[in-house]
Amino acid sequence: MNESLIVKRLVTVDRELHNLLDELRMKHPKMSLSQIRRLMKSASDEDPTVIVRKMRNKEYDL
């Protein structure tokens, strides 16, 4: 798989993740940060804070 295709797929996955998080917030506007962290923890073994930091700090070369 070439690098540009990988980057495009990562961008798509990132966009979908943000859409899902927005949808979750809209359905549960009073959801606390700890509740969101628990949900993220159930989806991944990685620390949710680390996941969010990676998302914020990422840069994609298109």
**Looking at the whole model, is its pTM more than 0.85?**
no
- Residues 36 and 48: beta-carbon distance below 8 Å: yes
pLDDT at 60: 56
Domain boundaries, the chain: 3-57
Rounded to whole angstroms, how far apart are CA atoms 20 and 14?
Answer: 10
Rounded to whole angstroms, how far apart are CA atoms 9 and 25?
Answer: 24
pLDDT at 37: 73
pLDDT at 3: 83
pLDDT at 24: 75
pLDDT at 1: 63
The pLDDT profile of the chain, 62 residues, written as one tens digit per residue, is 688 888 888 888 888 888 887 777 777 667 777 777 777 777 777 776 777 777 676 665 54
